[in-house]
Structure 1
Amino acid sequence: MAYETIKVEIADRRATLTLNRPESANTLNLLMMQELADCFEFLKDNPEVQILVIKGEGKVFSAGGDIKMMLTSADPVDFEIVMGYLSRMMLAFYQLPMVTIAQIHGAAAGLGFSIALGCDVIVAEEKSKLAMNFIGVGLVPDGGGHFFMKERVGVPKAKQMIWQGSIMEPSEALEAGLIDYIAEENEVEAMVDQLVGKFLSSPILAVLETKAILHSQKISELQNVLKLEAEAQKRMRKTEDHLEGIKAFIEKRTQQFKGK
């Protein structure tokens, strides 16, 4: 399949998906969400693939949702389309019958971090930055961010980390249980390749059965979280705090939130 915003390579039971908008820090616009949804649905029905590695082209994994898209999609119809693709994308992703590995370098923030957290295994380069930073623009996490954070660290810690929206070093994220491995600078690809080799030389059909059993119990919960996130995001986008957060981001200044 031909894509504009992502690249997909499949060989020897492994698929490598590259987020490919390096000029925009691999932020997710509507087209990338649509293409990711299509790609995950395609892979979901491809029994030849047993490992999926997700990485970013250029200097970062993904800086999250496209801020320009937020500014130009004030139309409620456009917003419904965005959230529809996002739900399709993450539901198909969560049900992939393969081991998914996030290969993070540079930064994984916002929606980009939600996608990484949805992976079975997360490897981050030692100098990367990690952030569930929706709060900085007056929004709640989407892309299943609430669900994946809670699955990783539990409800109390997930709430606190979402509310703080801090930019984390990999060592802090590892200690909290948000990621699984830290790679030395320029070694993240080599570490991921080693993990892929271990998985492919294991009885991987049993590995995938375990994933299917555990994930099947959670699909309805993820569906509900995605629905609630979309509803909450729609409300938050109408707040003064959200508009202030966007303006402050663009103007590179500290936000002045008023709780409105």
Structure 2
Amino acid sequence: MAYETIKVDIADRRATLTFNRPDVANTMNLLMMQELADCFEFLKENPEVQILVIKGEGKIFSAGGDIKMMLTSGDPVDFEIVMSYLTRMVLALYQLPMVTIAQIKGAAAGLGFSIALGCDVLVAEENSKLAMNFIGVGLVPDGGGHFFLKERVGIPKAKQMIWQGNIMDPNEALKHGLIDQVVVEGELDSTVDQIVGKFLASPILAVLETKSILHEQKLPELKNILKMEAEAQKRMRKTEDHLEGIKAFIEKRTQQFKGK
């Protein structure tokens, strides 16, 4: 399949999906969200693929949503389209009948971190940075961020992480259970290849049955959270604090929030 913002390679029961906007830190614009939704839905119907590795082209996994898109998608119809793609993308990712591995290099932030957390296994290079940093632009996590984060660390800790929006190094993230392995610089590809090899050499059909059983129980909750995230994000997009957060980000200054 031909895509503009992502690359997909399939061979020997393994698929590799690469975010392919390296010139803008692999941020996700509307087209990338649509292509990710289409790609995950395509993979969902391809049982010959048993492992999916998700990574970023260049030096960064994904810095999250495209700030330029946030500035230009003020139209309610545009916003509804964005959230519909997000919902499709996350639901398809969560229901993939394969082991999903996030291969994190450089940074995984905002929506990029939400997608990484939606994977079964997270492997990060030692010098990468991870952040659920929606709060910095006056927004709530989307892309299932609330669901995936609390599944990893529990509700009390998830609240603190979302409210603080801190940038974490991989060792801190590992300590909290947000990721599963930290590797030294230069060994990310080989380490992920080893993980893939172990899964493919295992009775992987049993592995995938376990994933299906556990995820099926949580699917209604994820659907509800995605709906609530979309409704909350719509409200937050209209706040003065969100506009201030965006302006401060572009102007590279400290935000001056007013609770409005």
User: Would the TM-score normalized by the shorter structure come out above 0.5?
Assistant: yes
Equivalent residue, structure 2, for 1:183: 183
Give the secondary structure class of the aligned counterpart of 1:103.
strand
One-letter code aligned to 1:56: G
Equivalent residue, structure 1, for 2:192: 192
Quick one: distance in 2 between partners of 1:234 and 1:189?
38
Quick one: distance in 2 between partners of 1:175 and 1:212?
27
Quick one: distance in 1 between partners of 2:146 and 2:120?
16
Quick one: distance in 1 between partners of 2:131 and 2:35?
24
Quick one: distance in 2 between partners of 1:190 and 1:138?
38
State the Cα RMSD in Å: 0.3
Give the secondary structure class of the aligned counterpart of 1:217.
helix
Which blocks of at least 5 consecutive residues in structure 2 are unaligned?
A: none
Could you tell me how far 1:154 is from its partner in structure 2? 0.3
Report the identity percentage. 85
Which blocks of at least 5 consecutive residues in structure 1 are unaligned?
A: none
One-letter code aligned to 1:141: P
Matches within 5 A, 1:1-260: 1-260=1-260
One-letter code aligned to 2:84: G
Quick one: distance in 2 between partners of 1:189 and 1:108?
17
Quick one: distance in 1 between partners of 2:252 and 2:59?
20
Quick one: distance in 1 between partners of 2:182 and 2:193?
14
Could you tell me how far 1:59 is from its partner in structure 2? 1.3
TM-score normalised over the length of structure 2: 1.00
One-letter code aligned to 1:175: K
Quick one: distance in 2 between partners of 1:252 and 1:59?
22
Hey, which bits of structure 1, 4+ residues long, moved more than 3 A? none
Quick one: distance in 2 between partners of 1:229 and 1:133?
15
Alignment: residue pair count? 260
Residues 122-146 of structure 1, C-alpha deviations (whole Å, 9 max, x = no match)? 0000000000000000000000000
Quick one: distance in 1 between partners of 2:41 and 2:31?
15
Give the secondary structure class of the aligned counterpart of 2:7.
strand
TM-score normalised over the length of structure 1: 1.00
Could you tell me how far 1:186 is from its partner in structure 2? 1.2
